[in-house]
Amino acid sequence: MRIVILGAPGSGKGTQARFLEERYKIPCISTGDILREAVRRGTELGREAKSYMAKGKLVPDQVVVDIIAERLKEGDCKRGFILDGFPRTVVQADALQKILDRMDLRIDMVLNLEVSEGVLIRRLSGRRVCKRCGANYHVEFQTPRIFGICDYCNEGLIQRDDDKEEVVRQRLKEYLKQTLPLRVYYKNHNLLKEIDGEKGIFEVSKEIVSTLERGNRVDNLKVGS
């Protein structure tokens, strides 16, 4: 099963991608997480990406395409993968198609999480993340067992730099201009499935699972194995 999850910043891509990773035991590949880790480690990639991310701009296409091309060659992607936050432009979608053609693979389904702007802003402003493992929380909708502490690694939770209001507005602008056209792109490729991302986390997961299972996209995967 090879899935792309599309959606605006805060639509729940990362939350649902991690759920699917756990359920189907295939890796979730998040370009945002890879870039944040590079920034944290101060690598050359991180230094380049930082200036774009801090302003809410997209990192240049070729940078992320190269990351994905390398990542998809790794052994854990053999049974499938979930792409979270990639592709984000038509140029990236075309590049992904070429990478997969070379590997004789194809995308099975593209899930688009539809969420209105007011809800996106509420989710992003309340999001907290673990500074060590990057796990996602929310001050209202997804609280940790102990206030301010990650359930998985006992680290403190922080607000992402790009979740500050003016950066969020810029990220939403970039999304509308650069990423929204991918809905039409994947609709034309007959791969797009719309998901109501505004429901609770659990309900959204349920809708995704039934969409995947209706589309027979999981027949080669043993759930929870």
125 forms part of the interface with ligand AP5 (CB under 6 A): no
Give Dmax over CA atoms of the chain in angstroms.
Answer: 47
**Going residue by residue from 35 to 54, which x/- string records binding to ligand AP5, judged by CB under 6 A?**
x----------------xx-
Whether the Cβ atoms of residue 15 and residue 136 lie closer than 8 Å to each other: yes
What CA–CA distance (Å, rounded) separates 73 from 210?
Answer: 29
10 forms part of the interface with ligand AP5 (CB under 6 A): yes
97 forms part of the interface with ligand AP5 (CB under 6 A): no
Q: Select the span of 144-152, 181-189, 200-208, 211-219 touching ligand AP5 (CB under 6 A).
A: 200-208
Residues in 155-194 that interact with ligand AP5 by CB under 6 A: 162, 171
The single residue among 3, 6, 15, 207 that binds ligand AP5, judged by CB under 6 A, is 15
Tell me the Cα Rg of the chain.
17
User: Closest distance between ligand AP5 and the C-beta of residue 125, in Å?
Assistant: 9
The single residue among 3, 4, 45, 59 that binds ligand AP5, judged by CB under 6 A, is 59
Whether the Cβ atoms of residue 15 and residue 191 lie closer than 8 Å to each other: no
Q: Compute φ and ψ for 2, nearest 5 degrees.
A: -125, 115
The single residue among 1, 6, 14, 207 that binds ligand AP5, judged by CB under 6 A, is 14
Neighbour count for residue 95 (Cβ, 10 Å) = 20
Q: What is the total count of residues that contact ligand AP5 (CB under 6 A)?
A: 34
- Active site (annotated) includes residue 128: no
What CA–CA distance (Å, rounded) separates 45 from 35?
Answer: 8
User: Closest distance between ligand AP5 and the C-beta of residue 219, in Å?
Assistant: 27
> Which one from 2, 171, 193, 217 is the annotated catalytic residue?
171
Q: Compute φ and ψ for 153, nearest 5 degrees.
A: -130, 10
The single residue among 19, 24, 86, 186 that binds ligand AP5, judged by CB under 6 A, is 86
Whether the Cβ atoms of residue 136 and residue 84 lie closer than 8 Å to each other: no
Token pair recorded at residue 2: 């090879």
Interacting residues toward ligand AP5 by CB under 6 A: 7, 9-15, 31-32, 35, 52-53, 56-59, 64, 85-86, 88, 92, 123, 127, 136-138, 141-142, 162, 171, 200-201, 204
